[in-house]
Chain A
């Protein structure tokens, strides 16, 4: 590899951020009227749309019904135009199945499913533009959508990726950094309690560095949660103003 310098001697990354800085996060809730809850979230150039239906009666095979809690059903997909080269993405390929499973696990940990026995909650997430950190953007978007749907959660679920370059962790990787051969880690956190909902890493990393990575990821997640909180509060304000009128 001709070698992109991921972290310069002065401490800048290729897009001008410092090691701990997140990308710019912008979000909107309630973008669709038909769905029970929906949200649109941009994190840098990664853009995702999340839609939530439910809780409603079990659809499809009723055998999956749980008598004590709700079943969460997640579906992840990427738009054909989401990357630089247009590519047809059939449903149910390995990557998106895995991602769906991860999302499901994450939200099972966060949503208070015991309040809705024998019912089902559907979460659909679509990546409109992909520029790294797809998983974490999906989680953040879906959190907003679930909140929009009025489904009680233990806490926000915030996710962030962290990469490891030159002995220092980089928060919120973009695509160029992800593809530069960095060992990265994705973490979903319930920020208030500090509980980890999901931790995923499929690269090699020395054990000694793991703690600092997780530490950095948690800090980054808390940063994300602050932004999300602000978005939710602003949305509530707007909605309450509207309803008063």
Chain B
């Protein structure tokens, strides 16, 4: 190694110039990562192929400005220089740099990094008086020359640059090294997409240079000032969330340890000036305004209602800097050219309207302005200067004309996540057989266990099966959860694995899904279908048959054959003892059939019994039953929507979910113990108390008190808050509690202290996802961890963790992000289906469009209502833009009249000439549903009040078929829970005082309380769905 010195002039923290001398070591051997290498370079990892016509070495300017183009996979043999990487890191920040790093790591991408500055012959020190750009260009050129010489002239090297001087200067120096500017046109004319992207990027760059200098926004403060300000407490750091309906944003601060109570519910940022170019989701730094300027959140539904319609003032601030942009791909619509926009000045700049209301209009420079009219386009934001009202962007891909079928689907997917490319199927279709070696290594459960699966009807990707049997003469129960062994087929680092990691989850939309794994795996080889041999990863517990305590637990790889592939409705029917047709048994004779059926029903019953016990156990700990809106669209053959069906909760759902939660919990314990610092778990942080305010207020209106201090207290008070007249009240309260919850997230155990592992919703100290590896990548990671833990235990194979703590945390973050995107997509798709459903119907005449709604929140000029029949939530205006208010006639019908409106804490009154009318919280009203469509944004469902009486649909509500049996189950469950409670009490305080023993009532359920419960439940039509914030099982 040769030691040289590099002299840098840096600014010290006081602003003085300091001369810093750094060592710089050069070496002879720097790997070139090329197959053609003659000098025995130490090339491990990704290697450039030798069969290309040339290698491409992009210049610093090209890497900084056109990285997106270099991301095209068609561009092969790209050599990034260290000089360019460092320049990118300096000028574009960490985000872009990480993008480049990922590019370099991605094995599908033909590019490598050459560490040119540490190579003895390619390093050139900066000369006196040489500008930085010149120096960079010289460095890159000398790296290109080195490559050419190193490969002994066998490969031409093309250096691409945007700098004409460089071409003149270096163009003719070396015969094998070409320097050119218009690389794409000359060498790769066939890459149409790359050309378009190139055009749009370069146009955006040119526009940026010719920007005006009129200042529209205050400049952002430099990073050091922000950092110092945050530390000293002058500024507040947080994530900006922009309200969907109003022009205001709330910065939620991270970490609960806010000393200042004012900041606990976030900082309000009103108006575009104060928001100062921040967009939704950015991590921003805000400065608080003086207290006299603090304002409240807008409580009115409509915009522009004036100042007086505000809640109590909260901390208000303005954005002074942005730490991290949340710029991703946005879908925009180019407006039709009808002269409303003043485009005459510069016809090439167009303000495109994003699909998401929260994103400002984006200025796009394009030469195809005419061609793009009315099209939906994916764009990226490049910059937002303080001199400009709108951000500048460039178009990436044209999706299609607005309103075209199919385009809307793209919208849903692109908006929330990155591209959903269809995956290449890389496993060849061949008759698959069980490998004898594998069969020997695995525990064979094909003969010994009755294995079955319960899934939604028509499910293809069966990733969990169950088994239960009694052992040792009935004193022991063996419960087994068998999960598809996906990681056996998908080895780490393979292409399928990478693609799965990229997708992270399967997207379930209202009528379709986007798979994480290729269909060969997800629907066939991995899927635990009935009647075929499959590999599985199993967890088996030996439980005491009476007390159901765990005696022993076994984890391992198994070979199973699922005997029955049931669906929920069928399983429920079997449980209830109703006649049901099991498809697997139709061929059998009558007697045999009965025997098999009895066996299956017996297994299901035992399973339900165990699940009830487990549930009761968790309820003791304070597990929550929450409520979400879920609707499934029923489609006919022509893909028309025939109905919107809310999900029917069955007990068997809960049974399966409970088993899965149990398996997840035990696996979490196992891997956490094996890898204390590198296990992937899932935690659900407790919610912030402020979010419960609305819930508590609403509950008070009905006379309930909600205790939100712990999850146990919350669960109990939610159980108590039942209105015997109206089962929906409880459902709504649970729904509100659900919205108050924070999101459960994956994390690596090394980064959190042990008390942070807690899962609030499920009331478990450790939890992870293990049971759905076909549709979640996190489960695959957990499978690998479990396998590694088992290997370590047996002393075979490498017992090391799959990934280091840091890698795992990075992965967890990625998966969390993707999961959020998937949830968002699910929500959007539901909304879309609701819109499509009502779009085809005439709101005035169709009876479907008039429905019963229940008020769950009161706003200044309207109500927020929930329509249980369709699962629609939305605002209802009681005052329109002309100032008219809704007046209720004698018969309950409503019409618009001029009048005034007054809001109280639990009701709202409108008064006009013919009297006043009142809407109370949790009242039922009748609404008409129509669709409000716009050209640029998504269609939205509009609700209008028709009458203030409950709406009764024409057909009488059919009695619930399982009502009776479910009632019985419910009572049994409650009894079980009470039993458990008593047992626990006994265990905790074995010695009661004599008085207590004599005079206190027993806690075990007596006949009276049982009857009481039956009476209470009889009043309810049916118990709301037992759905958790974090269901362990698919819907």
Contacts and interface: CB of A to CB of B under 8 A. Distances in A.
Contact of B804 (A17, A24, A167): A167
Interface stretch (B17-25, B526-534, B612-620): B17-25
Nearest to B804: A167
A174 B23 contact: yes
B27 A9 contact: no
Contacts of A208: 677
A17 B3 CA distance: 10
A16 B806 contact: no
A12 interface: yes
A25 to B, nearest CB: 11
B23 A45 contact: yes
Contact of B21 (A21, A45, A85, A167): A45
B12 A24 contact: no
Interface in A199-227: 206, 208
B193 interface: no
A84 interface: yes
B19 A23 contact: no
Contacts of B677: 206, 208
B336 to A, nearest CB: 45
A44 interface: yes
B55 interface: no
A204 to B, nearest CB: 14
A101 interface: no
Contacts of B19: 84
A15 interface: yes
A16 B18 contact: no
B804 A15 contact: no
Contacts of B22: 14-15, 45, 174, 176
B111 to A, nearest CB: 13
B223 interface: yes
A102 B463 CA distance: 62
Interface stretch (B113-121, B726-734, B738-746): B113-121
Nearest to A132: B23
B20 A15 contact: no
A10 B80 CA distance: 13
A3 interface: yes
B23 A23 contact: yes
Interface in B92-147: 94, 101, 104-105, 113, 115, 117-118
Contacts, number: 59
A231 B468 CA distance: 75
Contacts of B115: 8, 10, 12
A8 B118 CA distance: 12
Given A9-B105, A10-B113, A12-B118, A17 B20 contact: no
B1 interface: yes
A85 B806 contact: no
B792 interface: no
A57 B547 CA distance: 84
B26 interface: yes
Given A10-B115, A166-B806, A206-B677, A16 B94 contact: no
Contacts of A17: 1, 25
Contact of A16 (B26, B89, B105): B26
Contacts of A131: 21, 23
Contacts of B101: 9
A14 B31 CA distance: 17
A2 interface: yes
A15 B12 contact: no
Most chain B CB neighbours (cut-off 10 Å) among A2, A16, A85, A176: A16
Contacts of A16: 1, 24-27, 117-118
Interface string B922-952: 0000000000000000000000000000000
A84 B18 CA distance: 6
Contacts of A2: 223
Contacts of B89: 5
Given A2-B223, A10-B113, A24-B3, A167 B806 contact: yes
A45 B23 CA distance: 7
A243 B804 CA distance: 59
B104 A15 contact: no
Most chain B CB neighbours (cut-off 10 Å) among A3, A9, A15, A24: A15
Contacts of A176: 22
Nearest to A4: B89
A208 B806 CA distance: 15
Interface in A82-110: 84-85
Nearest to B101: A9
Nearest to A5: B89
Given A12-B115, A45-B23, A85-B12, A3 B94 contact: yes
Contacts of B27: 16
A23 B25 CA distance: 9
B18 A15 contact: no
Interface in B14-59: 16, 18-27, 31
13 contacts: A10-B31, A10-B115, A14-B22, A16-B1, A16-B26, A16-B27, A16-B118, A21-B25, A23-B3, A45-B5, A45-B22, A85-B16, A208-B677
Interface of B: 1, 3, 5, 12, 16, 18-27, 31, 89, 94, 101, 104-105, 113, 115, 117-118, 223, 677, 804-806
Given A2-B223, A44-B23, 19 more contacts: A9-B105, A10-B113, A15-B25, A16-B1, A16-B24, A16-B26, A17-B1, A24-B3, A24-B23, A44-B3, A45-B21, A45-B23, A84-B18, A84-B20, A85-B16, A131-B21, A167-B805, A167-B806, A174-B22
Interface of A: 2-3, 5, 8-10, 12, 14-17, 21, 23-24, 44-45, 84-85, 131, 166-167, 174, 176, 206, 208
Which 6 A-B pairs rank lowest in CB-CB distance, beginning with the nearest? A16-B25, A16-B118, A15-B23, A24-B3, A84-B18, A44-B23
